[in-house]
Structure 1
Amino acid sequence: MFERLFKLSEKNTTVSTEVRAGFTTFLAMMYIVPVNASIMSLTGMPFDELITATAVVTIIATILNGIWANTPVAMSVGMGLNAYFTFGLVKGMHIPWQTALGIVMISGLIFLALSFTKFRVWVLESVPVDIRRAISAGIGMFIAFIGLKGMGVIVDNPATLVTLGDFHDPKVLLGVFGFIVAATLFAYRIKGAFILAIIITSIVAWILGLGELPEGIISMPAGIGDIAFHFDIKSALTLSLLPVIMTFLITDMFDTIGTLAGIGMRAGLFKKGSREIQKTLEADAAATVIGASLGTSTTTSFIESAAGVEEGGRTGLTAVITGLLFITTLFFLPLYKAIPDNAIYPILVMVGVLMFSELKNIDFSDGTVAVASFITAVLMPLTYSITIGISAGFVVYLILAVLKREFDKINIGTITLALIGLLAFIFH
């Protein structure tokens, strides 16, 4: 059965190898369940229901991709856009979380429709690869800034906007400890480094009395009736929110394409024009629609899938195993609820480190690219808005290309994206 469905011999792999790879991917990304729930619950959405929704979305999306696309790529709620959902839209722009879910739903529906067209190719050809890298790096800085602020390492200051926090505060020191643990485990390439860091930091917090002990270990999953199908599309369909919708759409596409490129390079998968890439994009888009329906922000492919690929995973069976293992996370609610915030926020900083590393691939010898990339990346954390960063980057890139008469860098795509970007400033 497995051979017929996943073509194991054709991919030069075995069931045992795929199972081991799926377990490895699960360990690498299971942190997303408590982390996403902690982030999105700050919007007023119930934490218990977000745990269930995140786990269910991960299960459905990952198994869907495994069967539909037959690729070893796991999917879940994307880091970066979940932070933007919470801190940029709900807290920053004071948009109700129902409207924010409507924005995610619209972007997902557009992505799903466009996944069956040549639009993906058009976007890839329109947006310079270096700007795409700058977007990833900027989101990394945005997430890290949120993590450092949440830890108390960075605090408000009326004179300088931000300054160093109080390192006499035990909770701040706990966050620093959590970061050092996560960074050390990551540096040693320990499997499941992030979830291990959360566990170790939580145990230290419980021992030192910096967090409440869990009331239990296992419980039945919480229902999701208060968040499922509560998206508000009508309120999201305004001209002022068009740049935000485009931000979610473009970022999701770039995340997925970048992830597939990274995984493909490691394992020799996804050759140019491969049908597997197209079907993975289709599954990713469908997953975002499912996620918005169940009450989570944008779902995307996870780069942690590379951990499973390095273990030998080559087919969708790896993803199916990963998805099935996530069923276990539905029953650990008491443990998740007892995790201190400062065991979670250091993981945001580490995810920021991973995304920020894209800067090394940008060609800063090109003046137009250098300035546009810098503006894109820097404005995201400084304005607390991924939309502003992306919009400014497109606008600056187009202006500089015109002024330098670099008309080979200009096409209908760059013009269109720059015009949409202008809306972000007009309606800000």
Structure 2
Amino acid sequence: MVKKESQNHSNTQQARNHQKHNPLSLKQRVEQYFQLPTKGSNIKTEFLAGFTIFLSMLYAIPVSAEILSQAGMPKEALITAITLITILSTLVCGIYANTPVAMSVGMGLNAYFTYGVVQGYGISWQQGLGIVFVSGLIFALISLSNFRVWILKSIPKNLRFALCVGLGAFLATIGLKGLEIFTLQNDNLLLGDLSHITTLLGIVGIMVALVLYVLKVKGAFILTIALLSGIGFLFEIAQTPTQIFSSPASIAPIALELDVFGILKFAFVPVILMLMVTDLFDSLGTLSGIGIKANLFYGLDHTERDTPLERTLQIDAVATMAGGLLGTSTTTSFLESASGTAAGGRSGLSAVFAALFFCLTLFILPLFLSIPSFAIYPILVVIGAFMFLEISHIDFSDTDSLIASFFIILLMPLTTSITIGLSAGFLVYLLLIITQGHWSKISGGLLCITFLSVIPFIF
């Protein structure tokens, strides 16, 4: 026994001496830190995944700035602030949580901030930012506990698959509407003008992306975007950038301008709760959907602690507080992160690369803004289609969760709201299991989720 222990000690010492005289290269250190070998990935794949996430999310900066500017905030400062919070939150998520999840100002949440909070309540955007900060603070305190993870784990497995399917349908709907393949006229959803050149190119892009992806061509999405952009520039369908470099605008007009004390009134409690619950459900829905598709979070189906999941949720909450300080609305995990996992990204290195690419937008925004929308939207449609395939994993013998899944999948794209689809699904699920007396399916987490689900419909 003594001899064996001595031999083990000798082997350990030899390994240490070998490591001391043969230090790891930078590449090996990166692979080791982000656990690339165990995740079945490599630096090249993570680089392509990060670039794909970046291109898929790029639209969020100008669109969010446009929406928030309607609350009375200066657009130039907003572009810089939104870019900064995107870089910081995504970078920290990659390094700290080691998950391929990018974060930015939520597309639905910024609309709620502008039209529901600032304009709806007739308050200043400074007070609106105060509401964002306070909701983020409450969110952060919750995230430091096991509450958010407990809630996420309380979602039945069938409904988690339904979330992934619903998010896929939601994403595809965004892409199809953006390409004007379908249009809304007189409250009716109609087939668009398929003879329009950008719509035709979008359809071609969907076909190209599908074929390349099915053939497992590396960088299928990037190649599709590059091809469509090149066609747009060549035939002057898209505007070729006249300027490449530009200096970022100052965020001084909106940074630290939040009014916290002005919203510490009982009348604003429902608004703060609504914003917090919406962010909670957006985050849970997005992370659950992406996690199911890429098998990122093992803690969803096991009792052991899932550190990457917990850390991703914590960063999401803290980023909302930081966004309020910088001058933006609620920050959340972005569904477009699914484009990175679809491209093979499995670690936080994808998020790190995406954050670094977003740094470029501070200085060469005109170049990246020149990428036409008909080159981006086909990717969202294809990603949505492959996320929708998770419907095959739903247990069709369980009527309760099957009907609830139907409402989740249907309402997400119809209402363009992750929160409403998720909320309606849980309300229906609890109603069905109570009606049929399936008491074993009821848990504290499910009751808590259903209670939170009622808030969006009340307010």
The interval holding the TM-score normalised by the smaller chain is: 0.7 to 0.9
Gapped regions of structure 1 (runs ≥ 5): none
State whether structure 2 residue 185 is matched by structure 1 residue 161. no
Moved more, 285-294 or 149-158: 285-294
Change (3 A) 1:12 1:355: closer
Moved more, 388-397 or 28-37: 28-37
The alignment partner of 1:299 has SS state of strand
Give the partner amino acid of 1:31.
L
Give the partner amino acid of 2:172.
A
State whether structure 2 residue 144 is matched by structure 1 residue 120. no
Change (3 A) 1:92 1:199: farther
Alignment root-mean-square deviation, CA: 4.1
Moved more, 291-300 or 362-371: 291-300
* Structure-2 separation of matches of 1:423 and 1:67: 34
* Structure-1 separation of matches of 2:51 and 2:317: 24
- Say whether the 8 Å CA contact 2:152–2:284 is kept in structure 1: no
1:398 shift after superposition: 0.9
The alignment partner of 1:77 has SS state of strand
The alignment partner of 1:127 has SS state of coil
Change (3 A) 1:26 1:362: same
Residues 122-159 of structure 1: per-residue CA shift (max 9 Å, x gap) = 2134322222332332233223223222211111233x
- Say whether the 8 Å CA contact 1:372–1:394 is kept in structure 2: yes
Please point out which of 30, 39, 60 is paired with 1:36.
Answer: 60
* Structure-2 separation of matches of 1:92 and 1:351: 30
Q: Which residue of the partner structure matches residue 148 of structure 1?
A: 176
Aligned identity (percent) is 34
Q: Which residue of the partner structure matches residue 409 of structure 1?
A: 441
1:7 shift after superposition: 9.4
Change (3 A) 1:244 1:354: farther
Q: Which residue of the partner structure matches residue 50 of structure 2?
A: 26
**What is the TM-score with the length of structure 2 in the denominator?**
0.74
Moved more, 359-368 or 286-295: 286-295
The number of aligned residues is: 416
* Structure-2 separation of matches of 1:102 and 1:346: 37
Residues 59-108 of structure 1: per-residue CA shift (max 9 Å, x gap) = 32343234434x25353338xx52x3366775799759958867765554
Change (3 A) 1:226 1:361: farther
* Structure-2 separation of matches of 1:289 and 1:191: 37
Q: Which residue of the partner structure matches residue 300 of structure 1?
A: 333
Please point out which of 276, 284, 287 is paired with 1:245.
Answer: 276
Q: Which residue of the partner structure matches residue 414 of structure 2?
A: 382
1:31 shift after superposition: 0.8
- Say whether the 8 Å CA contact 1:73–1:305 is kept in structure 2: yes
* Structure-2 separation of matches of 1:41 and 1:10: 33
Change (3 A) 1:182 1:332: farther
* Structure-1 separation of matches of 2:95 and 2:451: 39
- Say whether the 8 Å CA contact 2:113–2:329 is kept in structure 1: no
Residues 188-223 of structure 1: per-residue CA shift (max 9 Å, x gap) = 344443344333222212222322221123333344
* Structure-2 separation of matches of 1:381 and 1:3: 42
Q: Which residue of the partner structure matches residue 208 of structure 1?
A: 235
Change (3 A) 1:362 1:89: farther
* Structure-2 separation of matches of 1:152 and 1:7: 42
Larger Rg: 2
1:264 shift after superposition: 5.3
Within 5 Å, give how 1:145-294 maps onto structure 2: 145-158=173-186, 161-225=188-252, 228=255, 234=263, 237-239=268-270, 242-243=273-274, 245-256=276-287, 259=290, 263=294, 272-294=304-326
Within 5 Å, give how 1:46-195 maps onto structure 2: 52-69=80-97, 71=98, 73-77=100-104, 81-82=106-107, 84-85=108-109, 98=125, 105=133, 108-158=136-186, 161-195=188-222
Gapped regions of structure 2 (runs ≥ 5): 1-23
Residues 105-124 of structure 1: per-residue CA shift (max 9 Å, x gap) = 55543442222212134213
Change (3 A) 1:220 1:197: farther
Change (3 A) 1:229 1:185: farther
- Say whether the 8 Å CA contact 1:112–1:285 is kept in structure 2: yes
Q: Which residue of the partner structure matches residue 7 of structure 2?
A: none
State whether structure 2 residue 374 is matched by structure 1 residue 346. no
Q: Which residue of the partner structure matches residue 397 of structure 2?
A: 365
The alignment partner of 1:155 has SS state of strand
* Structure-1 separation of matches of 2:351 and 2:100: 6
Give the partner amino acid of 1:30.
F
* Structure-2 separation of matches of 1:156 and 1:209: 28
The alignment partner of 1:389 has SS state of helix
Within 5 Å, give how 1:3-22 maps onto structure 2: 8=32, 19-20=43-44, 22=46
